[in-house]
Structure 1
Protein backbone atom coordinates (compact mmCIF):
# COMPACT_ATOMS: atom_id res chain seq x y z
CA UNK A 1 0.00 0.00 0.00
CA UNK A 2 2.89 2.35 0.83
CA UNK A 3 4.40 1.74 -2.62
CA UNK A 4 1.18 2.74 -4.33
CA UNK A 5 0.91 5.90 -2.25
CA UNK A 6 4.55 6.79 -2.94
CA UNK A 7 4.09 6.17 -6.66
CA UNK A 8 0.99 8.36 -6.67
CA UNK A 9 2.84 11.20 -4.95
CA UNK A 10 5.76 10.94 -7.38
CA UNK A 11 3.41 10.89 -10.37
CA UNK A 12 1.57 13.92 -9.00
CA UNK A 13 4.78 15.86 -8.51
CA UNK A 14 5.97 14.99 -12.00
CA UNK A 15 2.68 16.19 -13.51
CA UNK A 16 2.77 19.39 -11.46
CA UNK A 17 6.36 20.09 -12.45
CA UNK A 18 5.51 19.52 -16.11
CA UNK A 19 2.52 21.86 -15.87
CA UNK A 20 4.62 24.56 -14.24
CA UNK A 21 7.35 24.22 -16.85
CA UNK A 22 4.82 24.64 -19.65
CA UNK A 23 3.63 27.97 -18.25
CA UNK A 24 7.03 29.60 -18.00
CA UNK A 25 7.47 32.91 -19.83
CA UNK A 26 9.10 32.58 -23.23
CA UNK A 27 12.31 34.42 -23.98
CA UNK A 28 11.63 35.57 -27.51
CA UNK A 29 13.34 38.95 -27.88
CA UNK A 30 16.54 39.14 -29.91
CA UNK A 31 19.49 39.80 -27.63
CA UNK A 32 21.41 41.18 -30.59
CA UNK A 33 18.75 43.69 -31.59
CA UNK A 34 17.41 44.50 -28.10
CA UNK A 35 20.04 43.57 -25.49
CA UNK A 36 18.34 45.38 -22.59
CA UNK A 37 14.87 44.00 -23.27
CA UNK A 38 16.29 40.50 -23.74
CA UNK A 39 18.14 40.88 -20.42
CA UNK A 40 14.86 41.90 -18.77
CA UNK A 41 13.22 38.76 -20.19
CA UNK A 42 16.00 36.65 -18.67
CA UNK A 43 15.39 38.27 -15.28
CA UNK A 44 11.65 37.60 -15.58
CA UNK A 45 12.50 33.96 -16.29
CA UNK A 46 14.79 33.80 -13.25
CA UNK A 47 12.14 35.35 -11.00
CA UNK A 48 9.54 32.90 -12.29
CA UNK A 49 11.83 29.98 -11.51
CA UNK A 50 12.52 31.28 -7.98
CA UNK A 51 8.79 31.57 -7.32
CA UNK A 52 8.31 27.99 -8.54
CA UNK A 53 11.07 26.90 -6.14
CA UNK A 54 9.31 28.72 -3.30
CA UNK A 55 6.02 27.03 -4.16
CA UNK A 56 7.62 23.61 -4.13
CA UNK A 57 9.49 24.28 -0.88
CA UNK A 58 6.24 25.36 0.76
CA UNK A 59 4.15 22.61 -0.82
CA UNK A 60 2.24 25.21 -2.88
CA UNK A 61 0.63 26.71 0.24
CA UNK A 62 1.16 30.41 -0.43
CA UNK A 63 -2.51 31.50 -0.54
CA UNK A 64 -2.37 31.99 -4.30
CA UNK A 65 0.04 34.92 -4.08
CA UNK A 66 2.92 33.09 -5.72
CA UNK A 67 0.72 32.03 -8.62
CA UNK A 68 -0.51 35.62 -9.03
CA UNK A 69 3.09 36.85 -9.05
CA UNK A 70 3.89 34.33 -11.79
CA UNK A 71 0.90 35.55 -13.81
CA UNK A 72 2.12 39.14 -13.46
CA UNK A 73 5.62 38.10 -14.54
CA UNK A 74 4.10 36.47 -17.61
CA UNK A 75 2.27 39.73 -18.37
CA UNK A 76 5.49 41.69 -17.92
CA UNK A 77 7.22 39.31 -20.30
CA UNK A 78 4.50 39.85 -22.92
CA UNK A 79 4.86 43.62 -22.54
CA UNK A 80 8.61 43.32 -23.06
CA UNK A 81 7.94 41.47 -26.31
CA UNK A 82 5.50 44.20 -27.38
CA UNK A 83 8.09 46.86 -26.54
CA UNK A 84 10.65 45.14 -28.76
CA UNK A 85 8.08 44.84 -31.55
CA UNK A 86 7.20 48.54 -31.24
CA UNK A 87 10.88 49.42 -31.46
CA UNK A 88 11.21 47.23 -34.54
CA UNK A 89 8.26 49.00 -36.16
CA UNK A 90 9.69 52.42 -35.33
CA UNK A 91 13.03 51.50 -36.87
CA UNK A 92 11.36 49.96 -39.93
CA UNK A 93 9.35 53.17 -40.49
CA UNK A 94 12.52 55.26 -40.22
CA UNK A 95 14.07 53.30 -43.08
CA UNK A 96 11.22 54.01 -45.52
Structure 2
Protein backbone atom coordinates (compact mmCIF):
# COMPACT_ATOMS: atom_id res chain seq x y z
CA UNK A 1 0.00 0.00 0.00
CA UNK A 2 1.32 3.43 -0.86
CA UNK A 3 2.35 5.83 1.88
CA UNK A 4 -0.54 8.17 1.10
CA UNK A 5 -3.05 5.33 1.33
CA UNK A 6 -1.55 4.21 4.63
CA UNK A 7 -1.67 7.77 5.95
CA UNK A 8 -5.31 8.06 4.90
CA UNK A 9 -6.09 4.82 6.72
CA UNK A 10 -4.34 6.08 9.84
CA UNK A 11 -6.23 9.37 9.72
CA UNK A 12 -9.48 7.49 9.26
CA UNK A 13 -8.74 5.40 12.33
CA UNK A 14 -8.00 8.48 14.40
CA UNK A 15 -11.05 10.37 13.20
CA UNK A 16 -13.53 7.52 13.53
CA UNK A 17 -15.93 7.59 16.46
CA UNK A 18 -15.32 5.07 19.24
CA UNK A 19 -18.34 2.98 18.26
CA UNK A 20 -16.94 2.49 14.77
CA UNK A 21 -14.50 -0.13 16.04
CA UNK A 22 -17.08 -2.70 17.00
CA UNK A 23 -15.92 -4.97 14.18
CA UNK A 24 -13.87 -7.93 15.28
CA UNK A 25 -10.44 -8.59 13.74
CA UNK A 26 -10.67 -10.49 10.47
CA UNK A 27 -8.54 -13.26 9.05
CA UNK A 28 -7.90 -12.28 5.46
CA UNK A 29 -4.29 -13.22 4.72
CA UNK A 30 -3.55 -16.28 2.62
CA UNK A 31 -1.46 -18.65 4.78
CA UNK A 32 -0.03 -20.25 1.63
CA UNK A 33 1.41 -16.90 0.56
CA UNK A 34 2.29 -15.30 3.92
CA UNK A 35 2.34 -18.04 6.55
CA UNK A 36 3.85 -16.00 9.37
CA UNK A 37 1.62 -12.99 8.79
CA UNK A 38 -1.46 -15.20 8.58
CA UNK A 39 -0.43 -16.86 11.85
CA UNK A 40 0.07 -13.47 13.50
CA UNK A 41 -3.37 -12.40 12.32
CA UNK A 42 -4.83 -15.61 13.74
CA UNK A 43 -3.21 -14.90 17.09
CA UNK A 44 -4.72 -11.41 17.24
CA UNK A 45 -8.09 -13.03 16.65
CA UNK A 46 -7.51 -15.60 19.39
CA UNK A 47 -6.47 -12.89 21.85
CA UNK A 48 -9.55 -10.84 20.96
CA UNK A 49 -11.79 -13.85 21.58
CA UNK A 50 -10.13 -14.54 24.95
CA UNK A 51 -10.65 -10.92 25.99
CA UNK A 52 -14.32 -11.25 25.08
CA UNK A 53 -14.57 -14.33 27.29
CA UNK A 54 -12.82 -12.53 30.15
CA UNK A 55 -15.25 -9.64 29.82
CA UNK A 56 -18.20 -12.03 29.96
CA UNK A 57 -16.81 -13.92 32.96
CA UNK A 58 -16.13 -10.65 34.80
CA UNK A 59 -19.44 -9.03 33.86
CA UNK A 60 -17.61 -6.35 31.84
CA UNK A 61 -16.02 -5.09 35.06
CA UNK A 62 -12.43 -4.79 33.84
CA UNK A 63 -12.04 -1.04 34.08
CA UNK A 64 -12.23 -0.50 30.34
CA UNK A 65 -8.84 -2.13 29.87
CA UNK A 66 -10.16 -5.14 27.97
CA UNK A 67 -11.95 -2.82 25.54
CA UNK A 68 -8.74 -0.85 25.05
CA UNK A 69 -6.79 -4.07 24.46
CA UNK A 70 -9.40 -5.21 21.93
CA UNK A 71 -9.07 -1.91 20.07
CA UNK A 72 -5.29 -2.32 19.96
CA UNK A 73 -5.75 -5.84 18.58
CA UNK A 74 -8.01 -4.48 15.84
CA UNK A 75 -5.33 -1.94 14.98
CA UNK A 76 -2.63 -4.63 15.00
CA UNK A 77 -4.77 -6.71 12.67
CA UNK A 78 -4.92 -3.81 10.21
CA UNK A 79 -1.15 -3.34 10.37
CA UNK A 80 -0.57 -7.04 9.74
CA UNK A 81 -2.77 -6.80 6.64
CA UNK A 82 -0.80 -3.75 5.49
CA UNK A 83 2.41 -5.74 5.96
CA UNK A 84 1.04 -8.46 3.70
CA UNK A 85 0.04 -5.83 1.14
CA UNK A 86 3.56 -4.38 1.23
CA UNK A 87 5.05 -7.84 0.72
CA UNK A 88 2.71 -8.36 -2.24
CA UNK A 89 4.12 -5.25 -3.92
CA UNK A 90 7.72 -6.51 -3.89
Counterpart in the other structure of 1:72: 72
Distance 1:66 1:45 in 2: 14
Distance 1:68 1:39 in 2: 22
Task: Find out whether 1:33 has 2:33 as its counterpart.
Answer: yes
Distance 2:51 2:43 in 1: 12
Normalising by structure 2, what TM-score? Answer: 0.74
Off by >3 Å, runs of 4+ in structure 1: none
**Larger RCO, structures 1/2 (Cα 8 Å, 6+ apart):** 2
Q: CA RMSD in A?
A: 0.9
1:9-48 matches, within 5 Å, as: 23-48=23-48
Q: 2:33 aligns to what SS in structure 1?
A: coil
Distance 1:23 1:60 in 2: 18
Structure 1 unaligned residues grouped into runs of 5+: 1-21, 91-96
Bigger radius of gyration: 1
Distance 1:88 1:41 in 2: 16
Counterpart in the other structure of 1:52: 52
The alpha-carbon deviation at position 23 of structure 1 amounts to 2.1
Structure 2 unaligned residues grouped into runs of 5+: 1-21
